Structure 1
């Protein structure tokens, strides 16, 4: 069996009719393991706060947007990598 990795992109979701989505906090750092359901970062609009949870268990391998960044729907915020065995 060989180990392979699989990447999951954390993508800014559609948060409704808003032009301003701010990434206000990262709750994990690159290299840290995250669990399913763990809040990885938080997005805020003029109407609400939206915690983004990890859909997989893995390692936060990359962050592409810094705290305080204004992001748009569909932008990649970061990547979670997990190992798979075949």
Structure 2
């Protein structure tokens, strides 16, 4: 049975009426295994802190925005890759 991979982009969600969203922390490094529901990174606005959870089990395959980056809704933060069977 062959296997293939699926990639899931981590996209900044709509966090309400805010002009500034900061990526304050990555909890994993490239290549780390991530379980579904794990807090991958943390975003902060002027009003609150928002953990971003992984929607799948996989590996952190890409980081597009570094800690301390100011980001906007819809920006891609990184990518999680998982192996799937055909």
TM-score higher than 0.5: yes
Mapping of residues 1-86 of structure 1, within 5 Å: 1-86=1-86
**Which stretches of structure 1, 4 residues or more, deviate above 3 A after TM superposition?**
none
For the residues of structure 2 that align with 1:28 and 1:53, how far apart are their CA atoms? Answer: 12
CA distance in 1, matches of 2:29, 2:72: 22
Deviation string 1:27-83 (CA, Å, 9 cap, x unpaired) is 001100000110000000000000000010000000000000000000000000000
Unaligned 5+ residue runs, structure 2? Answer: none
In 2, Cα distance between equivalents of 1:41 and 1:29: 10
CA distance in 2, matches of 1:67, 1:44: 11
Superposition TM-score, scaled by structure 1 size:
0.99
Structure 1 gaps, min length 5: none
RMSD: 0.4
SS in 1 for 2:5: strand
TM-score, structure 2 normalization: 0.99
